[in-house]
Amino acid sequence: MKKTLCTIALTGLLGLGMTAFAQDSTTQQPATEAMHGPRGQGFSPDKQLEHMTKALNLTSDQQTQIKPILENQQTQMMQLHQDQSLSRADKMTKAKSLHADTTSKIEAVLNDQQKQKYEAMQQQMEERRQQHMQGGADAQPQAQPQQ
């Protein structure tokens, strides 16, 4: 009987610990989601490059030029994520700026047809991010402001 009660108590504590861990891991910052992938799974520069190569039909020369751009973005994002001196809003602002800088560097390597596909990919990613921010895939994306 005593052994059974100890087992139940330990199971309950383990369950509470896992629940707390799961809640903590779901508080990922949206600005870094593009880099970390869905649910915090890492999209390494190699995985990103592999995806881009298939989607955009990159040449080996383009791959060689884009890989260091993606590696630099990952390094800077990790440093930004670890910087405890910045507020969440400042981190998001810097992350958006870094993403825009990376996007412009990548687009400089692409031909016109690849740029169009890449911009469409970026738009789809932004729409998915907006849906996630609004509470899931069932949410309707907000209208983008006209510029």
pLDDT digits (tens, 9 = 90+) for 3-56: 544 445 444 444 434 333 333 333 443 443 444 444 444 579 999 999 999 999
Residue 140 token pair: 């309707």
Q: What is the pLDDT of residue 114?
A: 96
CA-to-CA distance for 25 and 46, rounded, in angstroms?
A: 24
Which residues fall within 8 angstroms of residue 42, CB to CB, at 6 or more apart? 36
The model's confidence at residue 146, banded by pLDDT at 50, 70 and 90, is: low
- The DSSP 8-state label assigned to residue 84 in this structure reads T
Q: What is the crossing angle of helices 112-133 and 88-109, to 10°?
A: 160
pTM comes to: 0.63
Asked if pLDDT for residue 84 goes beyond 70, the answer is yes
pLDDT of residue 64: 97
Is 98's pLDDT higher than 70?
Answer: yes
Which runs of consecutive H residues, i.e. helices, occur in 110-147? 112-133
Per-residue model confidence (pLDDT) at position 134? 84
Q: What whole-number distance in Å separates Cα of residue 35 and Cα of residue 42?
A: 7
What does the pLDDT average to over 89-114?
95
How many other C-beta atoms are found inside a 10 Å radius of the C-beta of residue 27?
6
Confidence band for 94, pLDDT divided at 50, 70 and 90: very high
The secondary structure of 58-83 as a DSSP string is --HHHHHHHHHHHHHHHHHHHHHHH-
Helix-helix angle 60-82:45-56, to 10 degrees: 140
State the average pLDDT over residues 73-100: 93
- pLDDT band for position 1 (50/70/90)? low
User: Does position 144 have pLDDT exceeding 80, yes or no?
Assistant: no
- Roughly how many angstroms between the first and final C-alpha of the chain, as a whole number? 71
99: tokens are 């993403």
The single residue listed with the structure tokens 């890492």 is 42
pLDDT, one tens digit per residue, over 104-129 is 999 999 999 999 999 999 999 889 98
